[in-house]
Structure 1
Amino acid sequence: MDEEIRRAIEITPSATTRQRIIDITTTGRRTGLPRRIEIFFYRALGKTYLCSGTMPPPSWYVNLVATPAFSFHLKNGVRADLKATARPVTDPEERLAVLTEIVADLNQPHNPGTLPQPVLLNNWLSSRLVEVTFPAQ
């Protein structure tokens, strides 16, 4: 993977809101058609994650559960379309560790997620959470 792309993915807590916004293209679970949306990505415990707390489960999440292969589109600064694989994070201890780090990141003074402060961990515990991995490209 190109070093510039790696730096764009391996964001640090100092990353701006804009640097955290990507598009993903999933495969529709019923239609089999590509579905592209804009979403935030997060870094926690040295890994990349997608997370959403909406109810019912967002379509991007159910699409990735059905077909884990998807495209991760960097679009702010560095532009790249990356093949990726999603793994739903369901283990309670793993979820707690990841979400604790994501919430701590969002509660920084510069508020990278532009969310009302403080962001409360309890509000994120039922979020849909997937780990993103990038196969050798």
Structure 2
Amino acid sequence: MTDEARRALARQRTVEITTTGRRSGRLRRIETWRYRAADRYWLTGSPGSRDWYANVLAHPGFTLHLDGLDLQVRGRAVTDPEERARVFGEIVPGLGWAGSLESWIAGSPLVEIELD
């Protein structure tokens, strides 16, 4: 990853991603949130199911769109309860609107963006 891409990822919280549809195989571009925790980058959202998450589970490779840069990355879904608690423990307290940490651990998608 270039320095330009790392700077863009560091400053841009709202990102667009293009995933491959789990059933259709069609490309799907959506906007979602990027967070930094444990010195890594993550995609998540408030508790609930998300099509983008199901797509990443089926097809881990996706495109991350940042300030005119299109990066080919992989997503690692985080299902381990202890890891989810650690990561959400860094993310959720900084969100005044987020609700309870427990609800995020139990019901939010969580994907690590694997850059290299």
Q: Could you tell me the TM-score, scaled by structure 2's length?
A: 0.89
Q: How far apart are the structure 1 equivalents of 2:69 and 2:99?
A: 30
Between the aligned partners of 1:101 and 1:38, the Cα distance in structure 2 is 22
- Deviation per CA, 1:32-89, whole angstroms, max 9, x where unpaired? 010000111111001111112343x2100000000000000013xxx31000101110
Counterpart residue number, 1:87: 76
Q: Identity across aligned pairs (percent)?
A: 45
How far apart are the structure 2 equivalents of 1:37 and 1:27?
A: 11
In structure 1, the partner of 2:94 is 105
2:48 is equivalent to residue 51 of structure 1: no
Alignment root-mean-square deviation, CA = 1.6
After TM superposition, give the deviation of residue 7 of structure 1 in Å. Answer: 2.0
> Partner residue of 1:128?
109
Bigger Rg, structure 1 or 2: 1
List structure 1 segments (4+ residues) > 4 angstroms apart after TM superposition: none
CA contact (8 A) 2:76 2:112 kept: yes
Q: CA deviation at 1:119?
A: 4.3
Gaps of 5+ in 1: 12-18, 108-115
Paired with 1:73 and 1:92, the residues of 2 have a C-alpha distance of 29
Which structure is higher in helix share?
A: 2
Residues 87-132 of structure 1, C-alpha deviations (whole Å, 9 max, x = no match):
110111100000010113334xxxxxxxx3x643123112111111
Show the 5 A alignment for 1:28-43.
28-43=21-36
Structure (1 or 2) with the greater strand fraction: 2
Aligned length: 115
Query: 1:110 is matched with which residue?
Result: none
Task: Name the CA distance, whole Å, in 1 between partners of 2:13 and 2:51.
Answer: 20
Any idea what SS the aligned residue of 1:10 has?
helix
TM-score (norm 1): 0.77
Unaligned runs of 5+ in 2: none
